[in-house]
Structure 1
Amino acid sequence: MSETANPGADARRVALFVTCLVDLFRPSVGFAAIKLLEDAGCRVVVPTSQTCCGQPAYNSGDREDTKAIARQVIETFEGYDHVVAPSGSCAAMLKKHYPELFAGDREWEARAQAFSDKVSELVSFLTDVLGVTAVDAKVAGSATYHDSCSGLRELGIREQPRQLLSSVEGLTLTELEDADVCCGFGGTFCIKYPDVSNAIVTKKAKRVKQSGADMLLAGDLGCLMNMDGKLKREGTAVEVRHVAEVLAGMTDAPPIGGKL
């Protein structure tokens, strides 16, 4: 994805942290995020030198490589008014763990904190920072929403996506039982403990089917891909999409795991 901006000279200059999974597997989420931000009056920039947030290395205990990645991210993004990510887990890494990572570092501690203060998850930024209460989108059908762990527990994101989804014309939102329970992905967790991960996602897939919804939505692509994989293996015809795609009204592309 390349740099883009709307023409409002006085608009907030927002840098989009695309995330690895969006860039490699679901670029449509990035374009949906840009549309939502521009519709809210932001000038959006997508720095082409951005890399991973460092979360896989961090969760594996590799602090030195994480710091090297974090320094590059901070240098790339610290010149913008805001940094927005369409992912609760990546946003939490940037906002919560970067300051901890550089605690006591005389050169980087203040820079990490100043950077993290600018970071928001996409839906939270729209509602909590910009004050957006509704979107101009039309999507027919029913949907249910899964609260990803990092967004919910580290960033307090729960009501924000539901508020905006309630404004989507034609969409009926059905609450998912145990919506706040982990889907079993957990980044490297699903690789280290595949049997436990599968047991967790099996329960989540059951709840999704019980909801009766046409679509499953969430704010983290890793969770969505994990749940979609399980639903597909069980032969469940539920469309799985990132919440940004629905809020932007950009559902022409096939759902996650769908055929072109």
Structure 2
Amino acid sequence: MKIGLFIPCFMNELYPDICKATYKLLKNQGLNIDYPLSQTCCGQPMANSGCSKDVKTLAINFVKTFKDYDYIVAPSGSCVSMVKEHYAEFFNDDKDFNKVKTSIYEVCEFLHDVIKLENIKFDHSFPYKVGVHNSCHGHRVLKLATASELNIPYNSKLKNLLNKVNDIELVTLRREDECCGFGGTFSVAEEAISVAMGKDRIKDHIDSEAKIITGADMSCLMHMDGIINRDKNPIKVMHIVEILAGVRP
């Protein structure tokens, strides 16, 4: 299979080491990975701000860039959700878009559901207590974990992958699927509410004695990391691909 690696624009600019860890993680599974240089923003920030006309140009470019890949994989649930859920209005049942829509995966979703859990092995050790933050898009749109309001047995694709890492200890949070308060431009328009929600989310991890907060969306982790650094909290954030790729804190 030929896989196109989609890297969100803010991660490319602010977190290049996590982008490299994503590539390393996929290459470690023996996969054929390509990084198309014509890619750019998926348009999510503009969509969140109501600038839908600006999104169309980016959507067309995205489909043109990735239409020939068997799979498209990205380390961001919210960006994947943007493509899958909000591009259709710009394409009139276009075959290229339909292919892209069904071919794009968040990286944990791809490893768990396409490569399959039983085919994945990690040889490295990560001897830390880790709390998993389920971002809203990944959790309820991509179904990376079971939403608590469904009142059915809980399952988390992120935890299933992390449990294959040697010596890791996953903590149980009081609220497994609570929002961190980031919400893209919500954190700018409603700063006070956003920060309060972030502090609550961090406290839940600290109270559970986690040393690391991980998740599949760097935007959420970035939001919490800013609060952690400002408040000097005794905890760190790491994107899940770093842990799965063998990066130490």
Contact 2:133 2:176 in 1 (8 A): yes
Aligned mate of 1:144, from 118, 131, 148: 131
Map of 1:5 onto structure 2 = none
In structure 2, what is the Cα distance between the partners aligned to 1:182 and 1:188?
A: 15
C-alpha displacement of 1:122:
0.2
Deviations 1:31-69 (A, max 9, x none): 111122122221001111110000011112222110111
SS of the residue aligned with 1:176?
A: coil
Map of 1:6 onto structure 2 = none
Aligned mate of 1:209, from 203, 206, 221: 206
C-alpha displacement of 1:135:
3.3
C-alpha displacement of 1:160:
1.0
Contact 1:215 1:240 in 2 (8 A): yes
Map of 2:43 onto structure 1 = 54
C-alpha displacement of 1:195:
1.2
| TM-score of the two chains, using structure 1 as the length reference | 0.87
Alignment of 1:189-200 (within 5 A): 189-200=186-197
Map of 1:240 onto structure 2 = 237
Task: Name the amino acid aligned to 2:24.
Answer: K
C-alpha displacement of 1:153:
0.8
Aligned mate of 1:24, from 6, 13, 16: 13
Alignment of 1:84-233 (within 5 A): 84-99=73-88, 101-102=89-90, 105=92, 109-133=94-118, 134-136=120-122, 137-158=124-145, 159-233=156-230
C-alpha displacement of 1:125:
0.2
Contact 1:135 1:164 in 2 (8 A): no
SS of the residue aligned with 1:216?
A: strand
Gaps of 5+ in 1: 1-11, 256-260
Poorly superposed stretches of 4+, deviation over 4 Å: none
Aligned: 1:67 with 2:52:
no
Contact 2:214 2:240 in 1 (8 A): yes
- Which structure dedicates a bigger proportion of its chain to helix? 2
In structure 2, what is the Cα distance between the partners aligned to 1:190 and 1:75?
A: 31
Task: Name the amino acid aligned to 1:210.
Answer: D
| TM-score of the two chains, using structure 2 as the length reference | 0.91
Gaps of 5+ in 2: 146-155
In structure 1, what is the Cα distance between the partners aligned to 2:26 and 2:86?
A: 25
In structure 1, what is the Cα distance between the partners aligned to 2:35 and 2:234?
A: 34
Q: Percent identity?
A: 36
- Deviates further, 183-192 or 129-138: 129-138
C-alpha displacement of 1:179:
2.5
